[in-house]
Amino acid sequence: MDNKNNQWRQDFPILDQKVNDENLVYLDNAATTQKPQTVIDDLVNFYQNDNANVHRGVHTLAERSTEQFETAREKIQKFINAEHSDEIIYTKGTTDALNIIARSYGAENIVAGDEIVISYLEHHSNLIPWQQLAIQKHAVLKYIELDDDGFVDLADAKKKITDKTKIVSIAHVSNVLGVINPVKEIAQIAHSHGAVMVVDGAQSVPHMPVDVQDLDCDFLAFSGHKMLGPTGIGILYGKEKLLNAMPPVDFGGEMINFVHLYETSWNDLPWKFEAGTPNIAGAIVLGYAVDYLSKIGMQNIFDYENELVDYVLPKLLNIEGLTVYGPQDPAKHTSVISFNLDGLHPHDLATGLDMEGVAVRAGHHCAQPLMTYLGISATARASFYFYNTKEDADILVNSIVATKEFFKNGTV
């Protein structure tokens, strides 16, 4: 892809608008991504032509809906290179998927005195479920330290993961520091001690090739809305052997085999974990979003975003009074860039940028323990995707400088 003439940008109609009389520069992709017109059309097409509940229906619309629903599952299986399609569980998103692991695998396998190991950079979705499980089970929750660049420290991981460890859960990519953590190596450490490896893939699956068999993770969670799909749909990947041994956590229709008055038998994978009418349209359209991403190529997306970071990060580091968190070397930094400007609250900085048409996020980014670890309360965060350009990057830099001058002098 060409930075100067991004061929994919025209597919995203929402980007062609003005905000506060300025051209929109959307840099909040770590929170949610925009949708290409084709994916929007796919959603409308389903509701206009094929809408029906899935499974068990014998009429034509039900059969069409079911076929698309299960075809999307197979697309997602191939996208992350899972061994079996029944290892792909539809969920509401990353948060829901991680909670299912904690409430099912965790509840069944953690006893008093066991250890659960996470890191200081985890999103609340990959922290609170384990924190609460540890409280309920009287287990020990341990945190892996970060190195000077903000990566999960492998040396400390080797110390923290012991024969008492039963679960290790780490974010593949930090939603604050923009680091790609060595989850494959951490999985090897975890497995050497008999623990399972959980990967929060919310910020990695949309931006780079992810191969669950190569990583040898036991579970992976990610969200559709961060990869061009609708909100309210996500994926829990789990190794078939583990999922088969896990009890369901939600009960009702679809997830049963046979219901007696005083006992019930469960359905097979993956439907055992998909109680009730699922987000049918969301799942189908996530499959189409995967088609769109696959057409571009995940390695191409990863390489292009690296080019953007190579371009913008040095410019940001040259702004006097601006602190960038995470690696200072562009080669070590993904397209998630968090920063603070001296003397200015992140919310004020984000408001100033919005007046320039630049959409960034400000706050603790659902990572309050990481903020405490860094000795700050919040940051502003710009996050790029493949439809962003070097021009967007320049506008971000210039808008930060303009906002700095406005608050310094009272004029732009």
What does the alpha-carbon distance between residue 97 and residue 125 come to, in Å, rounded to a whole number? 9
Single-letter amino acid code for the residue at 103: R
90 forms bridges with which residues in the sheet?
Answer: 235
Domain boundaries, the chain: 9-27+297-409, 40-295
What does the alpha-carbon distance between residue 332 and residue 18 come to, in Å, rounded to a whole number? 33
pLDDT at 2: 47
Order of strands across the sheet that contains 322-325: 322-325, 336-341, 379-383, 361-363
The whole model's pTM is what?
A: 0.96
Same CATH fold assignment for domains 9-27+297-409 and 40-295:
no
The CA dihedral of 324, 329, 330, 335, to the nearest 10 degrees, is -40
What does the alpha-carbon distance between residue 380 and residue 315 come to, in Å, rounded to a whole number? 16
- pLDDT per residue as tens, the chain (412 positions): 444 457 899 999 999 999 999 999 999 999 999 999 999 999 999 999 999 999 988 999 999 999 999 999 999 999 999 999 999 999 999 999 999 999 999 999 999 999 999 999 999 999 999 999 999 999 999 999 999 999 999 999 999 999 999 999 999 999 999 999 999 999 999 999 999 999 999 999 999 999 999 999 999 999 999 999 999 999 999 999 999 999 999 999 888 889 999 999 998 999 999 999 999 999 999 999 999 999 999 999 999 999 999 999 999 999 999 999 999 999 999 999 999 999 999 999 999 999 999 999 999 999 999 999 999 999 999 999 999 999 999 999 999 999 999 887 755 4
Q: Which of 337, 343, 397, 341 is nearest to 361 (CA)?
A: 337
CATH topology of domain 40-295: Aspartate Aminotransferase; domain 2 (3.40.640)
Residue 204 CA, chain-centre distance (Å), reads 6
DSSP H or E segment with residue 264: strand 264-266
In the block, residue with structure tokens 């050497």: 192
First-to-final CA distance of the chain: 34
Single-letter amino acid code for the residue at 368: Q
Q: Which of 167, 213, 217 is nearest to 187 (CA)?
A: 217
What does the alpha-carbon distance between residue 247 and residue 100 come to, in Å, rounded to a whole number? 10
What does the alpha-carbon distance between residue 261 and residue 259 come to, in Å, rounded to a whole number? 7
What does the alpha-carbon distance between residue 237 and residue 291 come to, in Å, rounded to a whole number? 19
pLDDT at 262: 94
pLDDT at 256: 86
8 A C-beta contact, residue 256 and residue 40: no
* Residue 292, CB-side half-sphere exposure with 13 Å CA sphere: 27
pLDDT at 45: 97
What does the alpha-carbon distance between residue 155 and residue 157 come to, in Å, rounded to a whole number? 5
Helix, strand, coil percent content, the chain, rounded in steps of 5: 45, 20, 35
Q: Quick one: angle between helices 94-101 and 128-137, nearest 10? A: 20
What does the alpha-carbon distance between residue 123 and residue 177 come to, in Å, rounded to a whole number? 11
8 A C-beta contact, residue 177 and residue 326: yes
The CA dihedral of 22, 28, 29, 31, to the nearest 10 degrees, is -150
Catalytic residues: 366
pLDDT at 92: 98
CATH architecture of the domain 9-27+297-409 equals Alpha-Beta Complex (3.90)
pLDDT at 412: 44
What does the alpha-carbon distance between residue 391 and residue 3 come to, in Å, rounded to a whole number? 8
What does the alpha-carbon distance between residue 185 and residue 152 come to, in Å, rounded to a whole number? 11
